[in-house]
Structure 1
Amino acid sequence: MSRLDATQRFSSRVADYVRYRPGYPPALIDWLHHDIGVGADALVADVGAGTGISTRMFLEAGHPVIAIEPNAPMREAAAHWLLPQFPQLQLLDGTAEHTTLPDDSVDLVSAAQAFHWFDTAAVRQEWARTLRPGGLALVYWNSRLLQGSAFLEAYERLLIDYGTDYTEVAERYQSDEEMRTWFGNGLRGIASFPNVQYLDHDGLQGRLLSSSYAPQAGHPRHAAMLDALRQLFADHAVDGKVAFAYQTRAFIGTLT
């Protein structure tokens, strides 16, 4: 997959991404502040910020934030829904490997769901350059549960049947062992937190269409996929909703 593809593949999915992608559990910030000891005034570089879901989490917790995102439609969406409430937010056009940040300029470099798209060797060097002495790197993402309920297992089958490059994308997420290796001796902590969305049919469809591997309108599999999703929802909804469950996995450490 080319670097251009990785940075541009969500351009046509921004509205669904803003409305239907999950946030992150409050326990993640509690762990960061109370267990790891990061102060609420720590300056955060939120790398691969997308539409600002992770950015909002840090802003609401009191952090000053620089959000870095190479995709212009996603960056514009973040500005639209965050700047009116958080005018102090800085938004930069940059990539994980070339943030445009000065040397020794931030206390915490953070990357959420976008981390699996990065060149992790180049990222490690770039983030080490931008961190102040003693600064930390935080990597975390929502890992969708593939098993545990009939709905989750049926949804996974739907993605395999209809997704354009689902298997390729799904295999990009790093394992715990890979993250231990990436941090090396600087690893300070690993944590996992439950996270869940309760979605009606429109929410479930929007969540599906926010995924880069879901065929969009005009694709030969698009209509059949939506028909299958409608049946899946009818088979598994309880009181008009399905439980879309995740584990939020988090890793933190120094990069020196």
Structure 2
Amino acid sequence: MLRDVFDEDAELYDRARPGYPPALVEALITGAGLSPAGHVLEVGPGTGQLTVPLARAGLRITAVELGPSLAAVTRRNLLPFPDARVEVGAFEGWSLPPGHRVELAVCATAFHWIDPAVRVPRMTAALAPGGTLALVTTHHVAGGSADFFARAQRCYERWDPDTPSDLRLSDETTVTSDTTELDASDRLGPVGIRCFPQEITYTTEAYLDVLRTYSNHRALPAPALRGLLDCIAELIESRHGGSVTKRYMHELITARRVTP
């Protein structure tokens, strides 16, 4: 399964994947109304891009990570925070101990990898009444080094035959996540969405590292991936002075549990 590929190089994932804007983390904590040392369940922490800032805020965290190598790196990153622990397993088959509930159940940039039949019910079941279910989605949007991303399309069309010829980055004002599953739950109240953009400037090497962590890139045959990365590296070096800026749009999607 594609969701398993992230565990193949956990150190690269930890080094390359960006964290989340501090304003998003603050909004998540304050919006959930967490008590001091409140208990948080995080599903799919990766290597702790969200887990570490939540732990730094003094929260008690149980993180459930499918990949054992990713979990090992997360544990290392959480060593300064004894109230944060990581369990290895698929969330579809994992549950809190009987009688335990959390104030916040959150999944950041991993929700789409969880079985749609169980992801909202199982996250909601972990919540105490009044607790918050939160999703963080990450969108790649227009902005930053716009000329680079337009030209990079040619690299993708050459080396990845499945690339649509008219593929372009969307304007962030047109990007919205599908909240149908949350809206349909009779255990959850109204859904709220807040947006948090961020731009990150990458060197050529750092940008190639980010691309190597994406599942669709890792799924390419080795010769095609090498050709794609070489094409992009040449573009950054020859036309953009060795660095490019990428714009992300993160959505913080929340809903409170309204039933016992």
Task: Tell me which interval the TM-score lies in, with the shorter structure as reference length.
Answer: 0.7 to 0.9
Q: CA deviation at 1:245?
A: 1.1
Corresponding residue number in structure 1 for 2:232: 229
Corresponding residue number in structure 1 for 2:205: 202
Q: Does 1:28 align with 2:31?
A: no
Instruction: Give yes or no for contact 2:182–2:191 (8 Å, CA) kept in 1.
Output: no
Instruction: Give yes or no for contact 1:51–1:78 (8 Å, CA) kept in 2.
Output: yes
Which consecutive residues of structure 2, in runs of 5 or more, have no partner in the other structure?
A: 165-174
Q: CA deviation at 1:39?
A: 4.1
Instruction: Give yes or no for contact 2:42–2:106 (8 Å, CA) kept in 1.
Output: yes
Q: Does 1:150 align with 2:147?
A: yes
SS at match of 1:12: helix
Distance (whole Å) between structure 2 residues aligned to residue 113 and residue 137 of structure 1: 14
Q: Matches of residues 1-256 of structure 1 in structure 2 within 5 Å?
A: 5-35=1-31, 37-39=33-35, 41-83=37-79, 85-103=80-98, 104-146=100-142, 149-159=146-156, 161-163=158-160, 176=176, 178-184=178-184, 186-215=189-218, 219-238=222-241, 240-255=242-257, 256=259
Mean Cα deviation higher: 219-228 or 154-163: 154-163
TM-score (norm 2): 0.82
RMSD: 2.7
TM-score (norm 1): 0.83
Mean Cα deviation higher: 30-39 or 142-151: 30-39
Corresponding residue number in structure 2 for 1:172: none
Instruction: Give yes or no for contact 2:56–2:81 (8 Å, CA) kept in 1.
Output: no
SS at match of 2:55: helix
% identical aligned pairs: 26
Q: CA deviation at 1:134?
A: 0.9
Please list the CA deviations of residues 2-21 of structure 1 after superposition, one character each: whole Å capped at 9, or x if unmatched: xxx14422122322210011
* Aligned residue pairs, count: 243
Distance (whole Å) between structure 1 residues aligned to residue 11 and residue 161 of structure 2: 20
4+ runs deviating over 4 angstroms: 163-167, 215-218
Structure 1 residues 203 and 37: CA distance shift in structure 2, 3 A: same
Q: CA deviation at 1:219?
A: 1.3
In structure 2, give the amino acid aligned to 1:131: L
Distance (whole Å) between structure 1 residues aligned to residue 14 and residue 162 of structure 2: 22
